[in-house]
Amino acid sequence: MAIRESLIRWVDSYQGGLSDEDSDSKVRKLSRNDLVRCIPFIGIHLGSLAVIWVGVSPVAVGLAAMAYVVRMFAVTGFYHRYFSHCAFKTSRPVQFIFAAVGATSVQRGALWWAAHHRHHHRHSDEPDDIHSPDRMGFWWSHVLWLMSEHHFRTRTKLVRDWAKFPELVFLDRFDILVPVVFATATFALGECLAFAAPQLGTDGWQMFVWVFVISTVVLYHCTFTINSLAHKWGSKRFKRNDESRNNWLLAILTLGEGWHNNHHHYPHSARQGFYWWEIDITYSILWIMSKLGIVWDLKPVPQRVLDQGRQVSVKAPETNKAHRKDSNR
């Protein structure tokens, strides 16, 4: 692939590249063109260093934290539980709004995200798994896989249910659009505050670096821990032939996604913390939204799964390859 094509795909992610058939899950090398295409992704990491020049203020850090929580919820509640697993229902406008909020996390479009995640559930820790730390190493599973040409295209066959919504396809295809709007808005907000409330000690560049750049980088790596650490570090309640783990620290950082062994065992439910002591903030927010009528039909965890979970709890690092019980979607 030419460098020119890599640059075009910064803007139009559906241009050129490998088809679903040509994408090879077992490839674990980055090419020079991968690096060219990923300059924005690498650049946002390096951009964190600009904090040296822009300094810090309570309002910038507070808004960065708020941006982290709102966008993490959009990723966990909607990119993951809604678009990947259809764990509840909502209206078309709400679906679009959260696809757009999720897109501010700069983790590509909802269709790309859901398609790759569905692929992961179908092949968890098997040879075809895109990001198995067991098979491909920690750094590949954590971040390098998503920089590879082989996983750049949206696997459209796996998200036919969403591809019928043109507004979602638009966000997925031009996936840089929403992040650019969000980044510009953070700068504009900072400039407005510098003018209207100079005592806050902030400005456009400081707001941009904290609320867009730093918040996004932290959001990246907390989200990515579910593909890397949550398949290595934690306990295994359910006996499965993958390496998914439950980890309370990851569950707090990711608003509930750290109950990953629960989730692999029964991926269809809206909640991933199956018991009251397993804090699942995403589910709590979804529950409140259901009471307000914004979402509905939250899929529960079946009683038989809850009963089974109470009976067995296999601690890491033991593995048990004997059982596999769900339909993996």
Residues near Zn ion, by CB under 5 A: 267
289-to-71, 94, 95 alpha-carbon distances in Å: 16, 11, 13
By C-beta, is 267 or 309 nearer to Zn ion?
267
Dihedral, CA of residue 117, residue 118, residue 120 and residue 122, to nearest 10: 170
Give least dist CB 247 to Zn ion, A.
Answer: 12
Residues 6+ positions from 205 with CB-CB distance below 8 Å:
50, 53, 54, 187, 190
Q: Is 197 buried (19+), middle (13-18) or exposed (0-12) by CB count in 10 A?
A: exposed
Give least dist CB 121 to Zn ion, A.
Answer: 6
CA distance 186 to 11: 21
Give least dist CB 316 to Zn ion, A.
Answer: 14
* Cα 195 to chain centroid, rounded: 35
Give least dist CB 250 to Zn ion, A.
Answer: 11
CA distance 189 to 199: 15
Give least dist CB 268 to Zn ion, A.
Answer: 10
By C-beta, is 81 or 150 nearer to Zn ion?
81
3-state secondary structure 270-282: CCCCCCCCCCCHH
CA distance 171 to 109: 6
By C-beta, is 33 or 328 nearer to Zn ion?
328
Give least dist CB 123 to Zn ion, A.
Answer: 10
Reported as half-sphere exposure (CB side, CA atoms, 13 A), residue 289 has a value of 23
By C-beta, is 9 or 271 nearer to Zn ion?
271
What H or E segment, with its residue span, contains residue 144? none
- Collapsing DSSP to helix, strand or coil, 206 comes out as helix
CA distance 325 to 145: 27
Give least dist CB 120 to Zn ion, A.
Answer: 6
By C-beta, is 38 or 87 nearer to Zn ion?
87
Tokens of 225: 């821990």
By C-beta, is 89 or 123 nearer to Zn ion?
123
By C-beta, is 37 or 265 nearer to Zn ion?
265
